[in-house]
Amino acid sequence: MNNMSNPSSAQSSGLMALKEEIHILLDRDDLKPVLHQLLKHSPHKLLGALYSALLSPNKRIRWHAVTVAGLTVSAVALEDLEQARIVMRRFMWTLNDESGGIGWGSPECMGEIMARHHGLAVEYSRILFSYLASREGGSDNFLEYLPLRRGAFWGTARLAQADPDTAKGAYPQIHKALEHETDPEVLAFICLYLLHTGQSITPWPGTKLGPQILEIYWDQRLQTIPVQSLCKD
């Protein structure tokens, strides 16, 4: 049976082609020239392809997928806030132990979406912040797996860049996290958070860092940066 007489097969083929197109478009240093081409697709189809891109072994593709997810869901929220909430809850679910998955890219996408839509930031920022440090008593959303936790700190720093007033709500969790965090990437994201929110902590996180060079995604591109340059008080 050919695709003309099998709508399901045609739909599957179309999604596969879109995934291939998205991966090709995302695999470039500068995302700006292709954003129009990416965003011409319907949000539902585009998000389906982006979920796949978040699992790519290619770091550039994964991070650009985070940016496009933020643009897409924030645009959806302007037309249908409830549909955007559904997407946010999907990302939250993937970080729940009961989901059976790992949630690659989910905290980063949550942060990027909230950085682009203040209303969603007000609603969901406390969930993102709850991933940063363990909570005494009651439910605990702390992400024990370091790669996921890095994503939550990146998302918090990204929110601080775009909406510092809302991001200030993370300060208690940031302060608590510094009691045990030693990972250079996490500390760098904490520095970025503090700098963008105009806050300070003693001792300054940068004092824990040596001459490491980090590859981080910031301002829509992968950058190789001395960690100390991110953590100047």
Domain region containing 94: 14-171
Tell me the one-letter amino acid at 94.
T
195 within some domain: no
61 within some domain: yes
Beta pairing partners, 224: 215
Structure tokens at 175: 């302060």
Write down the pLDDT at residue 14. 76
212 within some domain: no
Q: From CA 108, how far away is CA 91, in angstroms rounded?
A: 10
117 within some domain: yes
166 within some domain: yes
Write down the pLDDT at residue 13. 65
197 within some domain: no
Q: What's the pLDDT tens digit per position in 146-184?
A: 999 999 999 999 999 999 999 999 999 999 999 999 999
Residue 2: pLDDT band with limits 50, 70, 90: very low
- What secondary structure, in 3-state letters, does 8-74 show? HHHHHHHHHHHHHHHHHHHCCCCCHHHHHHHHCCCHHHHHHHHHHHCCCCCHHHHHHHHHHHHHHHH
Q: From CA 102, how far away is CA 179, in angstroms rounded?
A: 25
Which of 74-88, 92-106, 138-152 ranks highest by mean pLDDT? 74-88
Collapsed DSSP state (helix, strand, coil) of residue 220: coil
Residue whose entry in the numeric block shows the structure tokens 């059976």: 100
Structure tokens at 49: 């392809």
- CB count within 10 Å of CB 101 equals 12
Residue whose entry in the numeric block shows the structure tokens 């979920």: 51
Q: From CA 89, how far away is CA 111, in angstroms rounded?
A: 13
Q: Residues, the chain, total?
A: 233
129 within some domain: yes
Residue 3: pLDDT band with limits 50, 70, 90: very low
Phi, psi of 124, deg, nearest 5: -120, 0
Q: What's the pLDDT tens digit per position in 10-67?
A: 556 677 899 999 999 999 999 999 999 999 999 999 999 999 999 999 999 999 999 9
Total domain count for the chain?
1
Per-residue pLDDT for 210 more than 90? no
What value does the mean pLDDT of the chain take? Answer: 91
